[in-house]
Structure 1
């Protein structure tokens, strides 16, 4: 086999490995049968339409959207000043701080979820919604710090210094000079945090409770009782949503420059 054919064969295998599961899920959701199966038993859109009528999915989708949007905003509110301080000032133990901030994505999610349940939720008795919000904010914070840091590192310091020399305060220079120039990185961090939070499972699984679930956890619970193709249809819709968000971010923001 020629090197060219070998390269094409390897590429085909890689694409099959990456795209194959999505194709199976999409086709399984199109099944006309009453049970989850592949190949599908006929073709029908009934399960794609049914997911919009399941009340538990509607409630958990709203919870996931709330956590993804406001958890990401809270993480950015903490992460932007942290990234600025770590890049612009000589912070004692800066590398240790970076490591600690990165801990939620280094430590396995199951350990993080169990730790939060045992040492935060149970001792304090806080509500499930607040616990999920704090957990998702902590999980997104490392992405916010890293992505925004990449933008700040590429911003020349003399631009900010010029604003200060012209009479602007440090905060004013940050607000009028730094933020407008790193908005692409901030938006990229928001999108990455949103997708990460929305698709988060291990931590949410430990912290969910009666009547309060994120959509991925609710899908797992649904499959314990029902084994119809609606979960496959919903999974396909969520995959399309995630791909569309990342594609739009790459097209309009140059997403790959920040991650």
Structure 2
């Protein structure tokens, strides 16, 4: 009985530690006061509405959406064939390739951002938008490979072989048999990559410049000059967006099967 009470207390403390900051941000975003504070000074939705009036938030949101969508799509275009090769063939350097592909997860994002800035942007004058796109694609690639690989492993290889024996080419079997059967894994990888890219801070911090900012970086810059609850309101909206995406993914795709 004592151990059960202790386990419940520890679980409750962990839940409060994990979810508590989210409720604090939501409460602060509904404050009627002029500064970011908790507990809120009255209740008002004016800071939530103000988020949509700030032009820099709108432009940086569009930039983050573009990077998240196209960076994740690029990662999937690269990662899906890699996952197929790793799952179907015994490559001599298979484990080494897996380790290299996982490097963007292992290496701190701040190191990746500094390296791209130092060796691409500064010496060669790379366009910052292009550098951001490359960085976000590289950061999302490990998730694409791992999630699609998990889906590929669960697909029986004899289904593909049967299609080949019936006269389908290897490429045709991949397009007509393999891809339709792993579409759930691909969609799960896209959602995971999208959320990861959209909320990326360390890499984007080094590769941002005048007129080129992702939304998290723009929020940091806004806090340097203004301390009103609008950033809390935007944070709450983004949190609800992420929760909604993951909930829908779990509801319709069984997201937890792939991650």
How far 1:87 sits from its partner (Å)? 1.2
1:73 equivalent to 2:73? Answer: yes
Instruction: Show structure 1 runs of 4+ deviating over 6 A.
Output: none
Which residue matches 1:11?
11
Superposed, which structure 2 residues align to 1:228-239 within 5 Å? Answer: 228-239=228-239
Which residue matches 2:54?
54
- 1:141 & 1:203 partners in 2: Cα distance? 15
TM-score of the superposed pair, with normalisation by structure 2: 0.98
Which residue matches 1:89?
89
Structure 1 spans left out of the alignment, 5+ residues:
none
Which residue matches 2:164?
164
- 1:244 & 1:4 partners in 2: Cα distance? 33
Which residue matches 2:106?
106
Structure 2 spans left out of the alignment, 5+ residues:
none
- 1:116 & 1:91 partners in 2: Cα distance? 30
**What SS does the corresponding residue of 2:228 show, helix, strand or coil?**
coil
- Give per-residue Cα distances to partners, 1:160-185, cap 9 Å, x unaligned: 00000000000000000000000000
TM-score of the superposed pair, with normalisation by structure 1: 0.98
Which residue matches 2:155?
155
Q: Count residues in correspondence.
A: 259
Superposed, which structure 2 residues align to 1:177-192 within 5 Å? Answer: 177-192=177-192
Superposed, which structure 2 residues align to 1:121-160 within 5 Å? Answer: 121-160=121-160
- Give per-residue Cα distances to partners, 1:167-214, cap 9 Å, x unaligned: 000000000000000000000000000000000000000001100100
- 1:31 & 1:211 partners in 2: Cα distance? 30
**What SS does the corresponding residue of 1:72 show, helix, strand or coil?**
helix
- 1:12 & 1:89 partners in 2: Cα distance? 46
**What SS does the corresponding residue of 1:112 show, helix, strand or coil?**
helix
Which residue matches 2:241?
241
How far 1:123 sits from its partner (Å)? 2.0
Which residue matches 1:254?
254
Which residue matches 1:25?
25
- 2:35 & 2:120 partners in 1: Cα distance? 40
